């Protein structure tokens, strides 16, 4: 009995850890210049939000420990929202990107709080992070299928979140984004009073805010102990007071559709979502419609819906995960990989990303090899680089990349030094080809000047630093190799970050001996 109990506990611990393990640890990428908001495309007024926050750029400030700039950026997003509540989604989506529950964020958020203790911003992000961690620890199963250890982990995370969210709202009473994680906590805990209190305070501080109304309306669903009657009553009252909120009346049908199992052309869930969309063009309705159409193999229609969802809420990771799934189902591997990579930069622990990453990587590699066989060398290498970003350190990517790089035509009997003219150091692919050919002959000292010359004129080329790091490594210059990997990582190359972590662990292990 004890052995069985121990095994059960071990299985539960493994399950919890697996949910929190990032699919990949993305590189920070370049820091934003100015406010990390993407200007809107030319669209009709009211069709989509006016611009959107660049969550990847915002996270890059956190990952780079540029805490002063990060504090200012979040405060500017808050001030912009206060000046124009239409831009509420800037704060909503920005804080979700910073507080996505990724394990690499925990120490960084602690350091940010220490660096900016008088600003609401780091407390709000850290509190949101711990609520996300709580949900990851709990999992998405029904309560009866959820282990006591999963509930315990959730409660522990929520206990860490509450003081931060309380502190954030005290420091800045108009920071109504604090209400969102508070309501999510209240839902999970069955705390109706806490939910009502958070929503009432948010409405007092920002009577015109929309996102928080949607969060509250979701909390009235039967799955949280509410009812469709309660959802309809609230939505009707809101839309009567403000006709532009008419789409709230579609939330009950949207929630009903979530529980529908049929996936064919007669799917009743699609009819419910059509009825929801008749109340207003809301991104979650489009996202849900894409999911159902994809499962029914209506892929062109699903792509249209996922494109609309992206247009309506371009800062949310979920819309890119879904579109990646649609592209994957259609065997369109490049757009699938690009959408998946962007989504994982926003949320590296998402279950959708975990479910499809390996499949998409295999598809991208397949297309890369087909391009190589057809003589489209640059396309092949670009696809292999995409696969490498999605799966850093993947040995198959490395092998195929080496083959493609070194397979360009050359004169019979030519040596590596004769393959390209000396002035080829201005072109990345030329230097890369010479590097790989010389490396086969173990002539590493001859490679280094090629990359030095290239980087002198291209100091922000992340892949070049990645390649040069390998040369330093083979020359047994570990400090220089690690410096180049750090530079590649800082410039947004995921593989640079992965190799750097691997070398750091190896060096630490060697020192410990």
Q: Say how many CA atoms lie within 13 Å of 96 toward its Cβ.
A: 21
* Nearest residue to 361 via CA among 466, 178, 467, 495: 495
Q: What per-residue confidence (pLDDT) applies to 50?
A: 64
Give dist(CA 354, CA 450) in Å, integer.
Answer: 39
Average confidence (pLDDT) over 483-510? 91
Q: What per-residue confidence (pLDDT) applies to 510?
A: 78
Q: Which residue has the higher pLDDT, 266 or 388?
A: 388
Q: What per-residue confidence (pLDDT) applies to 1?
A: 55
Sign of the dihedral defined by the CA atoms of residues 138, 141, 147, 148, in that order = positive
Q: Say how many CA atoms lie within 13 Å of 237 toward its Cβ.
A: 8
pLDDT at 34 over 50: yes
Q: What percent of the chain has pLDDT over 70?
A: 93
pLDDT at 209 over 70: yes
Q: What per-residue confidence (pLDDT) applies to 45?
A: 47
What tokens appear for 229 in the block? Answer: 């009657």
Share the mean pLDDT of the chain: 91
90-122: b (≥16 Cβ within 10 Å) or e: bbbbbbbbbbbbbbebeebbeebbeebeebbbb
Could you tell me the pLDDT band of residue 124, with boundaries at 50, 70 and 90? very high
Could you tell me the pLDDT band of residue 412, with boundaries at 50, 70 and 90? very low
DSSP codes, 225-251? T--HHHHHHHHHHHHHH-GGGGGGGGH
Helix (H) or strand (E) holding 38: strand 37-38
Give dist(CA 150, CA 364) in Å, integer.
Answer: 36
Give dist(CA 423, CA 112) in Å, integer.
Answer: 47
Give dist(CA 126, CA 403) in Å, integer.
Answer: 45
List, in sequence order, every residue forming a beta bridge with 310; answer none if it has no partner. none
pLDDT tens digit sequence for 78-116: 999 999 888 899 999 999 999 999 999 999 999 999 999
Q: What per-residue confidence (pLDDT) applies to 264?
A: 54
Helix (H) or strand (E) holding 51: none
**Contact assessment for residue 316 and residue 345, using Cβ atoms and an 8 Å cutoff:** no
Taking CA atoms, 342 is separated from 107, 180, 454, 504, in Å, by 23, 24, 28, 26
pLDDT tens digit sequence for 426-459: 799 999 999 999 999 999 999 999 999 999 999 9
pLDDT tens digit sequence for 255-304: 999 887 755 557 889 999 999 999 999 999 999 999 999 999 999 999 99
Q: What per-residue confidence (pLDDT) applies to 42?
A: 55
Q: What per-residue confidence (pLDDT) applies to 487?
A: 95
What tokens appear for 77 in the block? Answer: 């997003």
Q: What per-residue confidence (pLDDT) applies to 410?
A: 44
């Amino acid at each position: 009995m004890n052995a069985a109990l121990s095994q059960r506990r071990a299985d539960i611990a493994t399950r919890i850890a697996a949910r929190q393990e990032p699919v990949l640890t993305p590189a920070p990428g370049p820091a934003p210049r100015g406010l990390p908001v993407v200007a809107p495309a030319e669209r009709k007024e009211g069709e989509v939000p006016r611009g959107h926050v660049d969550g990847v750029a915002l996270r890059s400030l956190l990952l780079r420990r540029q805490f002063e700039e990060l504090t200012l950026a979040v405060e500017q997003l808050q001030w912009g929202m206060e000046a124009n509540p239409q831009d509420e989604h800037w704060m909503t989506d920005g804080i979700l990107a910073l507080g996505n529950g990724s394990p690499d964020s925990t120490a960084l958020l602690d350091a940010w709080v220490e660096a900016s203790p008088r600003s609401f911003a780091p407390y709000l992000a850290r509190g949101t992070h711990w609520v996300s961690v709580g949900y990851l620890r709990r999992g998405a199963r029904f309560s009866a299928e959820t282990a006591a250890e999963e509930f315990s982990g959730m409660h522990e995370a929520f206990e860490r979140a509450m003081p931060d969210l309380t502190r954030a709202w005290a420091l800045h009473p108009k920071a109504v984004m604090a209400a969102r994680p508070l309501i999510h906590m209240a839902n999970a805990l069955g705390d109706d009073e806490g939910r009502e209190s958070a929503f009432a305070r948010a409405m007092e501080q920002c009577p015109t805010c929309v996102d928080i109304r949607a969060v509250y309306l979701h909390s009235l669903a039967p799955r949280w102990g509410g009812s469709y009657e309660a959802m309809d009553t609230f939505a009707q009252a809101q839309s009567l007071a403000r006709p532009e909120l008419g789409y709230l009346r579609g939330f009950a049908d949207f929630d009903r559709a979530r529980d529908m199992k049929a996936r064919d052309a007669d799917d009743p869930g699609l009819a419910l979502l059509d009825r929801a969309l008749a109340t207003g063009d809301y991104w979650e309705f489009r996202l849900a419609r894409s999911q159902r159409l994809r499962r029914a193999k209506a892929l062109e229609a699903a792509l249209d819906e996922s494109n609309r969802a992206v247009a309506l809420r371009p800062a949310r990771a979920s819309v890119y995960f879904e579109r990646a799934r649609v592209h994957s189902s259609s065997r369109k591997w490049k757009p699938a990989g690009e959408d998946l990579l962007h989504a994982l930069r926003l949320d590296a622990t998402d279950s959708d990303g975990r479910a499809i990453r390996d499949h998409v990587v295999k598809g991208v590699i397949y297309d890369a090899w087909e391009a190589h066989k057809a003589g489209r060398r640059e396309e092949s290498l670009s696809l292999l680089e995409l696969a490498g970003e999605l799966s850093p350190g993947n040995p198959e990517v490395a092998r195929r990349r080496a083959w493609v790089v070194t397979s360009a035509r050359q004169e019979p009997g030519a040596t590596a030094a004769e393959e390209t003219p000396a002035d080829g150091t201005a072109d990345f692919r030329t230097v890369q080809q010479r590097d790989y050919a010389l490396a086969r002959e173990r002539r590493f000292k001859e490679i280094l000047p090629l990359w030095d010359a290239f980087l002198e004129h291209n100091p922000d080329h992340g892949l070049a630093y990645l390649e040069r790091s390998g040369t330093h490594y083979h020359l047994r210059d570990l400090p220089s190799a690690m410096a180049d990997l750090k530079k590649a990582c800082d410039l947004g190359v995921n593989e640079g970050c992965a190799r750097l972590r691997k070398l750091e662990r190896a060096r630490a292990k060697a020192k410990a001996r």
